[in-house]
Structure 1
Amino acid sequence: MFNRTFGYILVAALAAGLGLLAAYHLLGRDDVPSAPALQTVTLLPQPRELPPFNLRQSDGTPLVPGELAGHWTLVFLGFTFCPDVCPTTLAELAQAQKQWEALPESTRPRVLFVSVDPERDDPRKAGEYAHAFHPDTLAATGDVPALEKFATSVGFVFMKVPGKGFEQNPQDYSVDHSANIAVLDPQGRLAGLIRPPFQPAAIADDLARLTAQDRAP
């Protein structure tokens, strides 16, 4: 999915957006003091506030920072025409979501799918696509500047890549995008990252542990 130029952009974005995480690894400190033992989530040394953003959810309501408060949230970028990475990832996340269904809705971890293909994916279409994997999945999109701002804030990038027939057919294109999953804490801050390959059982267990830790006295 990635071309060389996109790879360079991705490296630069990750270096800027997740520099603290990289430094933590270089120091050999993959565990954060007082955090529960996690299998697949890598936590930042300190959660990072996200700058203001404004996307549109599948039900037509705005997706602003306050909407993500109160729950641990997994954020994944993609698009509905994605042939492989997106459907595979959403299917894996749906497996984790099924394991959270017994948790109280008020604290249950959430999954947010953000389409980075606003030309072909309006909010309703993004929602229909995401809900086909699990009905609890949130979905949103926005115009390209808003999407770029949001993606950068969680250390991700995306780029439109014209296909061979793009000149004759403007719809012949793909979208290269980061394949990681961002982890937001209940305050809506960037708290960590999950890298592929994804392990649904481990993701489910890690988020349940993080949620239980927040509820502990």
Structure 2
Amino acid sequence: MFRNLTYLLLAAGALIAGVMLYQLSQVSAEPKLALVYPQPRALADFNLTDHHGETVNRERLYGQWTLAFVGYTSCPDICPLTLAKLAGAQPKLAEQVSQPLKVWFISVDPNRDSIEQLNRYVSYFEQASVLGMTAGHDQLFPFVRQLGLMYALSSSTSQDYLVDHSASVVLINPQGQLVAMFKPPMQVGELPVINVEQLLADFPLVLNKLNAG
């Protein structure tokens, strides 16, 4: 009888230890292509306009998770690929959080990207959780900079000018704070576009780290 009790206690102890080690490994596991900030970064207020013509400010970030990136509708490759990947991954990512998860496409080319153009562009992806938005550079530049991203306009006078911009995607928590950045793989000869499989693998690890902090 006592021997059976001893075996039972040992088995229970091993099970508890195994669960604790698993939980510890999940918390300490490092995402491969994501940077989690040691402290959430509060964002200053901003004033943009979305593709429905509605005002977008800091309050629009509250109560939701937001994946945001910068680009422009005339972008020949990185922007449409990134938006398509994020729109496709959004349902699976949203399952992992208790509050809504939105995707923000922030156009840094307001000269060509009117509200009507943004509406056509975003509507193509048929994803209600995806919002396109823009503003004048007086609003865009400080907002993009505080997201840890960048853009630079070409000095060309051609109407087909290109805009240099970051290819990373940032994560903003429901308190409107910048908490992480997902980076594209940098490989010679390949476009720096977010890898969906890696994003899906890194996302729960990022959430674990945020919850542990």
TM range (shorter): 0.7 to 0.9
Aligned to 1:122: 114
3-state SS in 1 of match to 2:154: strand
- The answer to whether the 8 A contact 2:48-2:134 is kept is yes
Q: Where does structure 2 lack aligned partners over 5 or more consecutive residues?
A: 1-25, 186-193
Q: Report the counterpart of residue 41 of structure 1 in structure 2.
A: 34
Partner of 1:182: 170
Residue in structure 2 matching 1:192, options 153, 177, 180: 180
Q: Mark the CA change 1:121 to 1:138 in structure 2 (over 3 Å): closer, same or farther.
A: same
Give the equivalent residue in structure 2 for 1:153. Answer: 146
Output one character per residue of 1:78-108: Cα deviation in whole Å (capped at 9) or x when no partner: 000001111111122122114246678x723
Q: Using the TM superposition, name which of 201-210 and 148-157 deviates more.
A: 201-210
Q: Which residue type is aligned with residue 83 of structure 1?
A: P
Change (3 A) 1:72 1:212: farther
* Segments ≥4 residues shifted beyond 3 Å: 33-40, 100-104, 204-215
Q: Check whether the contact 2:65–2:102 (CA below 8 A) recurs between aligned residues.
A: yes
TM-score, length of structure 2 as denominator length: 0.72
Pairs within 5 Å for 1:159-170? 159-163=152-156, 166=157, 169=158
What amino acid is the match of 2:198? A
Structure (1 or 2) with the larger CA radius of gyration: 2
* CA-CA distance at 1:160 after TM superposition: 1.1
CA distance in structure 2 between the aligned counterparts of 1:205 and 1:71, rounded to whole angstroms = 21
In structure 1, the residue matched to 2:89 is 96
Alpha-carbon deviation of 1:134? 4.5
Question: Which one-letter code corresponds to 2:80 in the other structure?
Answer: P
Q: Secondary structure at the match of 1:114?
A: strand
User: CA 1:126–1:195 in structure 2 vs 1: closer, same or farther (change >3 Å)?
Assistant: same
Aligned to 2:137: 144
Q: Equivalent residues in 2 for 1:49-128 (5 A)? A: 49-100=42-93, 107-128=99-120
Equivalent residue of 1:173, what SS? coil
Distance 1:52 1:178 in 2: 21
Cα RMSD (Å): 2.8
CA drift of 1:133 comes to 2.6
Structure 1 unaligned residues grouped into runs of 5+: 1-32
**1:45-73 CA-partner distances (Å, limit 9, x unpaired):** 00100111110111111110110112221
